[in-house]
Every structure is written in C-alpha cells, then in structure tokens.
Chains A and B, each alone.
Chain A
Amino acid sequence: SQQGEEDPQALSIQEGENATMNCSYKTSINNLQWYRQNSGRGLVHLILIRSNEREKHSGRLRVTLDTSKKSSSLLITASRAADTASYFCATDDYGNKLVFGAGTILRVKS
C-alpha cells in the first residue's frame, strides 16, 4: 500500500490565492519530498525536508513536517496559472526507495 496520502484530491483556486496541500504517512521516515507533475510529463522535484526539520522554504513554497502526527503540508503562496499541475509527496523510509502518494490536482484559474 502507498505510504503517503495527499489531501485534498483536487483543489481549484483563483490566481493570487494560496494553495495548501497535505500529506500523511505511516512509518518513520528519513525525509519527505514534494514533486510536481505537469500534464503528461515526468515529475520534477520541488523541495525536500528531513525528519529533523520542521519547516523549509523555497521561493513561494513552504513545507512543514510534523513527525509526531506523521504529516506534512505544502503551501504555495500567490499562486499563478503556471502552478496548475499535480503535486505528490514522497517518503524515504530508509529503505532505498521513495514511496509516492496519489497526489493532489491543483488548478489555478486566471
């Protein structure tokens, strides 16, 4: 079964608004990563947060990690139409592999 579960499954917002996606996982992790996938293309790495970190920023992205709740959130601020994509969390559980969730489909309307 999949490690990460994203919530919501789909999100539709207006350009300029913030988008928040959540990810829950089941086991202890080394790190958690977020990826973006534009329609029909390969996944692109966005940001990585290690198990001993609680928050990380990269440009308009903010990721938080709560290991006690086994959950993470990805915040995209001031969204743009170009942010329309699917977003996946992936967990590294020390097992030499990344396990992905089912993803959140984000639509940013201009």
Chain B
Amino acid sequence: NAGVTQTPKFQVLKTGQSMTLQCAQDMNHEYMSWYRQDPGMGLRLIHYSVGAGITDQGEVPNGYNVSRSTTEDFPLRLLSAAPSQTSVYFCASWDAGRRSEKLFFGSGTQLSVL
C-alpha cells in the first residue's frame, strides 16, 4: 500500500514565487490535513478537509490555499512564498468514519524560501 504520498520531498523557492505541494492517499479516507513543523513548535495545522469539496482553516492558514476536488488528492498552494514559510510540511489522512481515528502521515516536504 502506498498510503499517503507527498511530492516533492525537497524544494527551494525564492521569495514571491508560488508553488503547489502535492498530497495523495489511496486509503479512501475522507479526512485530509496539512501541517507544518518548525523546530521546537511541534506540528501546527494549516488547513484540513473532511471530504471532497469541503475545506476549513486550521491554526496557521495565512499564505496558503487548499482545494479538495477528489477524495484522493489534497494539494497545498503557496501563493507568494515568504521566508517565514520555510518549514517541513506534512500531509496526513484520517479514517474517522470507521473509528480508527489515527492519522496516517506522508514523509514530508522540506521547503526553503530564500
């Protein structure tokens, strides 16, 4: 099983550039989310989705956009990259409907904004 797949693994951007981090899951999970991880701060929720067509903001949504057109995919868009967005980004999915209730994580994208 592939589980949760994130691409790319590494990315370097210049300030002001835009890009999309890709996330796909093959477990038919309704719930998907994006977190960023900064040193000493654990994981902070950026955006999440409880199903296709439904998204909501997390703790730190500014500067990021998401959409959920299919159950499988949940891309994260950086509209105009800033150095403060240098971080490691994790996508996760969750089978809340079947009460397993644990998150499955991708391997992460390390993003540097210069």
Q: A33-B102, A48-B102 in contact; A97/B44 too (CB < 8 A)?
A: no
Residue contact B31 to A102, C-beta cutoff 8 Å: no
> Measuring CB to CB, which residues of chain B are less than 8 angstroms from any residue of chain A?
4, 31, 33, 35, 40-45, 48, 50, 56, 58-59, 90, 92, 94, 96, 101-108
**Binding site secondary structure of chain A:** strand
Q: A96-B31, A102-B42 in contact; A43/B50 too (CB < 8 A)?
A: no
Residue contact B48 to A103, C-beta cutoff 8 Å: no
Binary flags per residue of A86-110, CB closer than 8 Å to B gives 1, else 0: 0010101000111111110000000
Residue contact A88 to B102, C-beta cutoff 8 Å: no
Residue contact B101 to A48, C-beta cutoff 8 Å: yes
Is A28 interfacial (CB-CB < 8 Å)? no
Q: A42-B90, A88-B42, A102-B41 in contact; A96/B96 too (CB < 8 A)?
A: yes
Q: How far is the CA of A98 from the CA of B95 in the complex (A)?
A: 13
Q: How many residues of A contact B (CB 8 A)?
A: 24
Which 7 residue pairs spanning A and B have beta carbons closest together? A42-B105, A102-B42, A45-B102, A100-B43, A100-B42, A43-B105, A42-B107
13 A-B pairs in the complex with CB atoms less than 8 angstroms apart: A9-B40, A33-B101, A42-B90, A42-B105, A43-B90, A43-B103, A43-B105, A45-B102, A97-B33, A98-B103, A100-B35, A101-B42, A103-B42
Q: How far is the CA of A104 from the CA of B102 in the complex (A)?
A: 20
The interface residues of chain A lying within 8 Å CB-to-CB of B96 are 96
